[in-house]
Homo-oligomer: A and B are copies of this chain.
């Protein structure tokens, strides 16, 4: 045998999270590593009924090849749902993807050349690093202050091919960018003609007040928006979407056409069955907003339990912010601690987390002392025990 691999594979690495998820399958390990929603939050019975309906009444269509763009009524539902806060979305802008992870891959495929500068928050979503890396861009750290990424970073000498951010309850930092900063970012994106990729898996998971309007509402012709049903219904369905920029300028039309062609080359279309189950669920009068209220209440209680546990157990010198939504705490440890090095010991002690270094694309030195904790998988009692175990490993 003899296989020559493409050069781009040198930029591809196994996810630390993935390897950790394997380890945490060991019985007895309390994992705060993966961002796995609590299965108790899935509307299983409603999905079962919807699936039954779909296969009883539209089985032939649900099991057949389908159009690459996605199911028209689902695209329309998404456009309607997103049309608020002054943002007007048309169904023609919506491309259904196999989870929003695929959206990131497709964007990388059609927008990134070798060496293309990409602005990235620090830390940033690991899955975006994995999706973009094979296209060999140049990752450029996005300078930030306490409010979030700095708008002026977009007006540098060499313009970024794209600027990627997760404005709501970011993974991993938990940070939510405020309205004023969003306005500035949107404005400068337009002025500097920087395409923004706004990834919003967590926007519905707010605890007290909804987050400010998306950047896409302020710069609808300059923002490529990503959404997903993974966090609001269930990730195992793998139904996400890209909202391409508004308008019919040649640039936008070309982007839309190439994303569609890339989607077709990648998997022809997102499973028709899954799209129709989501649509049927919504058509059956499933109370999505009521369901989200329940999920928010659950996650909020878990967040509170973790905040209490962190305060109770973590050694001095550890710091964190209270996330106002989403799924994660981002903990900074004292400088002498290397959270990657300590992970095996932690797993030995029956607890798992994701070391902060995973979220930096090798851009930032000295990031070894942070770690990400998910609060949505374990119960409040388990969270207390897990944080206690973590504390003993950090002490």
Binding site for B on A (CB under 8 A): 1-9, 12-15, 18, 21-22, 34, 36-37, 39-40, 42, 44-45, 47-48, 51-52, 55-56, 59-68, 97-99, 101-102, 105, 109-113, 116, 127, 130-131, 133-135, 161, 193, 195, 221-222, 233-238, 245, 247, 249, 251-252, 254-255, 257-258, 260-262, 264-274
Contacts and interface: CB of A to CB of B under 8 A. Distances in A.
Nearest to A277: B273
Contacts of A116: 4, 6
B62 A236 contact: yes
Contacts of A254: 3, 5
Nearest to A39: B60
Copies assembled: 2
A59 B48 contact: yes
Contacts of A266: 101-102, 105, 131, 266
Contacts of A274: 271, 273-274
B251 A1 contact: yes
A162 B266 CA distance: 19
Q: Is the interface of A mostly helix, strand, loop or mixed?
A: helix
A14 B105 contact: no
A48 B39 contact: no
- Which of A6, A7, A64, A195 has the most chain B CB within a 10 Å cutoff? A6
A237 to B, nearest CB: 6
Contacts of A34: 65
Given A47-B59, A60-B42, A105-B267, A2 B251 contact: yes
Contacts of A260: 14
A3 B39 contact: no
Given A60-B44, A195-B2, A261-B13, A21 B67 contact: yes
A64 B12 CA distance: 25
Given A105-B267, A131-B265, A52 B48 contact: yes
A251 B45 CA distance: 46
Contacts of A67: 18, 21-22
Given A97-B267, A134-B265, 20 more contacts: A2-B195, A3-B195, A3-B252, A5-B254, A5-B258, A6-B135, A7-B113, A14-B261, A34-B65, A39-B63, A42-B60, A42-B63, A44-B59, A48-B56, A51-B52, A98-B98, A105-B267, A127-B268, A237-B271, A238-B270
